A and B are shown apart, each in its own frame.
Chain A
Amino acid sequence: MLCCICQEREATVHLTQIAGEKMQKVDLCEECAKAKGVNDPAAFSLADLLLGLGASQEVEKASGRKEAPCPSCGFTHADFKKTGRFGCPVCYEHFSDGLATLLRSMHKGVRHVGKVPKRFKQLKKALDVSDQLKTLQRKLEKAIHEERFERAAELRDEIKSLTGRTEGVEAP
């Protein structure tokens, strides 16, 4: 049996943890068990092991503490906590609240930069525009509040030209 962390070495440390009614078996090699400081098998979760300590708290936040399982695959945040993996693509939407905190701890950013499949290119543009719109709207309110009307007029024009561009493109 392979270690569930490195997937490379033979697992020699076998732990069973009981979460709710489910029994979760964890098999680790000596190295990984030591590296993760697994001497109190009752007090760790797989998500912590795989994603770094504190991950499961983030996940708990990420799931908004809602007990509702993913409508598409039935995955719960407890499942994520145990496996460090999501069940299906819809999980990302379902558990999206607070997911950013978790992602920030392991990635360079929290928004995708890079390749976009062809059929999403339109959608991506629309999303970028809607982001820009939100920022402009905020600036506009601030300008009006500060009675900087010239600036407000400029911003209004910018918004108008942007909304013109989004016509015909469905927002996500």
Chain B
Amino acid sequence: MTKVALQEFLTPPAEMARRRGPQDEIVLSSRVRLARNLEGCPFPGTAKKEQRQKVLGTMLPAVESLKLMQNGFSTAMDALTALDKTILVERHLISREHAARNVGSGLVLNKDESVCVMINEEDHLRMQALLPGFQIKQAWKLIDGVDTELEKSLDYAFSPVFGFLTACPTNLGTAIRVSAMLHLPGLVLSEQIEPIIQSVNKLGLAVRGLYGEGTEALGNIFQVSNQMTLGEAETSIAERLEKVVKQIIEHEENARGTLLERSPKTVYNHIGRAYGVLSNAHSISSKESMNLLSFLRLGLELGHFPGVDRSVVDELFVQTQPAHLQRMHTGRLSGEERDLLRADMLRQQLRNMSRPVMQAPPGQADDSAEKTN
């Protein structure tokens, strides 16, 4: 285990944004999460403080000693600041529920943050594999390996009939949650997102905006995940989700193609305005910047910003979030102060990015990229 502060340990957002994965123009990341509990111990929600601490005392060394966790990061939740915890949430490494935990809960991260284990969240163990791009199978293999390794030293609560026993019966059985984070500006712009969500729901999969409230999805980012965990094997759940994601990718690609063909001005307008506001604003909310960054990202994908690497935008998706902004400043920022600083950062980061070129044939975007570099 590394003995540094969390914020020193975490990969800088710029480096994070350069990590690529298959089909990451649409699939931002793939995640598989497993829930496990120890036999003979009350679930964290019922357990008394001493019982939770005992479980943490068993779990931490077991997880830390995994080969995969060499040079990783391990901590009790009460050793983290509120800011640390929010940063972890913004990086999708822990749940908001876990961020609210203190004494008796813990966290172990591996070196590249692809594996994260939460101890005493709603269940004794919540372990996730998070990979960039469309890598559901790989994420499953990764976390399956961690689970099999841990099983050697931990006695899981398991029933041959009900499978892995979890605090909430909605997670019972495989206790698996497979999810993919998708960037779908084409489906949103062409107003096809609602019917798509509905048909995906009918397949027993949940779709929700990753940021924002209710059905609103900030940044046109959606998360697709399985809901049912009992009565279907892990691999089958993962394959089903994979198939559905493939179809959504196809729909998104078609939507982009059709939009460019039928109403290119709508697309150009969104991209142009996003560029205009993001690179010139002096105050901007996290909500607005998220939505505009989505169109900037789309513009990059479509080849309208020759010579600019997409990681510039992906980094900003992370950096413009409240806790990430706050960490670069001493003294607590108010919402308005954050909006000013967010705009400053955006102008600074985008200062070398030229206006979008709307006539560039998408096929030649790569060539011009090399020349301008």
Interface residues of A (CB under 8 A from B): 2, 7-9, 29, 31, 35, 50-51, 72-73, 75, 83-89, 92-93, 99, 102-103, 106-120, 123-124, 127, 172
Q: How many residues of B contact A (CB 8 A)?
A: 48
Do most interface residues of chain B lie in helix, strand or loop, or is the interface mixed?
loop
Contacts of A106 in B (CB 8 A): 169-170, 227-228
Known: A8-B96, A85-B168, A102-B169. A113 touches B231 (CB 8 A): yes
Q: Taking CB as reference atom, which chain A residue is nearest B234?
A: A114
Docked-complex contact A113 and B156, CB < 8 angstroms: no
Q: Count A-B contacts at CB 8 Å.
A: 130
Contacts of A29 in B (CB 8 A): 213
Bound-state CA distance A116–B40 (Å) is 18
Residues of B bordering A, CB below 8 Å: 37, 39-43, 45-46, 95-97, 100, 122, 144, 147, 151-152, 155-165, 167-170, 172-174, 176, 204, 213-214, 227-235
Q: Is B144 a contact partner of A112 (Cβ separation < 8 A)? A: no
**Which of A8, A102, A117 has its CB near the most chain B CB atoms (within 10 A)?**
A117
Q: Is A112 a contact partner of B96 (Cβ separation < 8 A)?
A: no
- 17 cross-chain CB contacts under 8 A: A7-B97, A8-B96, A31-B214, A75-B46, A92-B162, A103-B230, A106-B169, A108-B232, A109-B230, A110-B231, A112-B159, A112-B164, A113-B174, A113-B232, A116-B158, A119-B155, A172-B160
Give the complex CA separation of A9 and B230 in angstroms: 28
Q: Which residues of A contact B39 (CB under 8 A)?
A: 89
Which residues of A sit under 8 angstroms from B230, Cβ to Cβ? Answer: 103, 107-112
* Residue in chain A with minimal CB distance to B168: A85
Report whether B229 and A113 are in contact in the complex, using a CB–CB cutoff of 8 Å: no
Cβ–Cβ contact A109 & B100, under 8 A: no
Known: A89-B39, A120-B160, A127-B161. A2 touches B97 (CB 8 A): yes
Q: Which residues of chain B are near A115, meaning CB under 8 Å?
A: 144, 147, 164, 174, 233-234
Is the Cβ of B213 less than 8 Å from the Cβ of A112? no
Q: Which residues of A contact B231 (CB under 8 A)?
A: 107-113
- B233: chain A residues at CB < 8 Å are 113-115
| Cα distance, A93 to B156, chains bound together (Å) | 16
The residues of A that contact B152 with a CB separation of less than 8 Å are 118
